[in-house]
Amino acid sequence: MAGEPRRFFERKRRSKNAGVCAFVVVVALGSGCGTTQRGSYYQNDGPPDQVPNDIASTPDATPRVELFLARVNRPYVALGRSYTPLTTDVAFHQRGVASWYGKQFHGNRTASGEIYDMFAMTAAHPTLPIPSYVRVTHSRTQASVIVRVNDRGPFKFDRIIDLSYAAAAKLGFAASGTVAVEVERLTHAQIAAGQWRGAGVEPLNLPAP
C-alpha cells in the first residue's frame, strides 16, 4: 500500500448539548515506514504473497442502485480533520492522486461493515456516499475501472481515493503505489439507464488542476 495508515470507525455517544454527533475515527498508526521511494509500502501492508496471474483481468464492479447506509454517511473526524460525506444522489467528479491498500487489511471489516477483499473491485473515499459506484480513470493512459465504494479514507492530504489491490493492478499502478486519476461517481439514474457501459458517463468540463 502506498496510502496512509488505515482507520477503524466507532459510533460516538450523543452529547446532551450536541444536536448531531459524528463518527470518531480511531486510526491505527503504522510504524517503521521511513521511506518515500516508489514501490515502497507501509511496514505491514503490501501486495498478496502470491499474485494471481489473471489479477489484471478482474471484472469491474457491476453498478446497481443501492440505498445509502446512514450510519457511515454522517460527519466524522480523522487525524484531526473533519469530513462531511455526501448524503444525496448527486454527480461527482474529482481529479487527484489514487493509492491502494492490500494484505494488511484483507479480511478486516470496512466502514460499511463488509469484509475487505483485496481481490475485489472496491475502494475507499472520504466523502462519497456509501455505497457508491465510481469510474476511476488513469490520467495518462486513459484506462479505467469501475469500483464500488464501501470504505472510508484515504486520510492523507494529497490522496483522493484508496483502491483495492485488484483495482490498482488493473489500472497498472500496483507497483508504483500511486497514480494521477479522475474519479466520476455514477448516479442512480445513470446506473438505471445503463450509462456506465462502454464509454461511460459524459465527463464534466472542469478547469485544469
Compute the half-sphere exposure of residue 32: CA atoms within 13 Å on the CB side of its CA.
Answer: 3
CA distance 176 to 6: 19
Hey, where are the domains in the chain?
Answer: 7-192
- Cα separation, 111 vs 208, in Å, equals 32
Residue with cell 450536541: 18
What pLDDT shows up at residue 43? Answer: 54
| CB count in 10 Å sphere of residue 140 | 11
189 has pLDDT over 90: yes
- Residue 136 clears pLDDT 80, i.e. is over it: yes
| pTM passes above 0.95 | no
Q: Residue 177, CB half-sphere, CA atoms under 13 Å: how many?
A: 15
Give CATH superfamily name and number for 7-192.
RlpA-like domain (2.40.40.10)
Higher pLDDT, 106 or 40: 106
